[in-house]
Chains A and B, each alone.
Chain A
């Protein structure tokens, strides 16, 4: 796992719990042209943050989803 993937995962775990990696894997595979989450690069961060904002708001509170997306955006 790249260092960036690891950092994104650490932040996401605080919001999504143990299934965070599974969630992120699904986001990159479905919305970033089949990208493996472990291969995440800085250039992918804006798109990933957008999709996290949308998908996470279906699972957790909208405010929390926005907060998570913002934190991911800052890693780009």
Chain B
């Protein structure tokens, strides 16, 4: 009996498993990577679109007039409550605020969290404005990567706010918690993982079945050959296949038949 490490069945099974794992691994890495970036792009587009819609609803004239200390003004409270209402109806929004550019700096104007949570007041500077945020003063934009600041790690969308004359007076920022995006990516990743896992199991089952039938028939031929080599001609080749192993079995059967004929007729060694 052939040791299991050297058997064709072991070699076939291991080779197929390695092949499947390599292909599945590459498929997972590629698909997951592509899906991840596509999902981020979709989220960025959603944030931009949301920022544009919110920007059109904000009173730009009132916002342009706010000065530090105006937080108790009815116009300020109206815009803050409006932002808070929008945020409450969109659970994926973590922070919602307006900003304006003052010289080389960027400052908060209306923060949905002002007076409710630890929100920024009018004129509070934001020192970590990147190019994506600054681009939001001229056209809708979104962070190309997650940004981390004192409020956490977020992905943000921005859109310019205009006054009644059409002049840009600031921007609205919409922050989505990174965990929301990561949760979406994880969901896709897990789905791909499960699908590939099921595919591996099904492929593994087929391989096991396929290699078992091949090896079973090879074993039968081997046993028949062994019996004949030990002088036992009372054997038959009962392997019926339409493939190369079937052809081998047929050839082998003819050989066995000829041996039997010659062994049954001992008085004539030639014919």
Binary flags per residue of B3-34, CB closer than 8 Å to A gives 1, else 0: 00000000000000000000000000000000
For residue A7, CB closer than 8 A to chain B, the reply is no
Smallest Cβ-Cβ distance to B253: which chain A residue: A60
Q: Which residues of B contact A14 (CB under 8 A)?
A: 254
Beyond A59-B261, A61-B238, whether A22 also contacts B254 by CB under 8 A is no
Query: Is B255 in contact with chain A by the CB < 8 A criterion?
Result: yes
A19 vs B236: C-alpha distance when bound (angstroms)? 17
Q: Say yes or no: is A18 at the interface (Cβ < 8 Å to chain B).
A: yes
Given contacts A25-B271, A26-B265, A60-B253, contact A20 B258 (CB under 8 A): yes
Interface centre among B258, B265, B268 (most CB of A within 10 A): B258
User: Which label, helix, strand, loop or mixed, suits the secondary structure of the B interface?
Assistant: helix
B236 adjacent to A22 (CB under 8 Å): no
A17/B271 in contact, CB under 8 A: no
Number of interface residues of A (CB under 8 A): 17
B254 pairs with A16, CB closer than 8 A: yes
Smallest CB-CB separation from B254: which chain A residue?
A17
Q: Contact: B258 with A19, CB < 8 Å?
A: yes
Chain B interfacial residues counted at CB < 8 A = 16
| B257 contacts partner chain A, Cβ-Cβ < 8 Å | yes
Within 8 Å of chain B (Cβ to Cβ): is A51? no
- Contact yes or no, B254 A15, CB < 8 A: yes
**How far, in whole Å, are A19 and B261 apart by their CA atoms in the complex?**
6
Chain A residues with Cβ under 8 A from B259's Cβ? 19
Find out whether the CB atom of A22 lies under 8 angstroms from the CB atom of B265: yes
Most chain A CB within 10 A, of B236, B254, B265, B271, is at B254
B236 touches A18 (CB 8 A): no
Cβ of A17: which chain B residues have Cβ within 8 Å of it? 254-255, 257-258
Interface residues of B in 206-246 (CB under 8 A from A): 236-238
Per-residue interface assignment for chain A, residues 1 to 17, with 1 indicating a CB less than 8 Å from any chain B CB and 0 otherwise: 00000000000011111
Tell me the minimal C-beta distance from B265 to chain A in angstroms. Answer: 6
6 additional A-B residue pairs with CB within 8 Å, beyond A19-B262, A25-B271: A14-B254, A16-B258, A17-B255, A17-B257, A19-B258, A22-B262
Can you list 24 A-B contacts with CB-CB less than 8 angstroms, sorted by A residue number? Answer: A14-B254, A15-B254, A16-B257, A16-B258, A16-B261, A17-B254, A17-B255, A17-B258, A18-B258, A19-B257, A19-B261, A19-B262, A20-B258, A20-B261, A21-B271, A22-B262, A22-B265, A22-B268, A22-B271, A25-B271, A26-B265, A59-B260, A61-B236, A61-B238
Q: B residues near A, CB below 8 A?
A: 236-238, 253-255, 257-262, 264-265, 268, 271
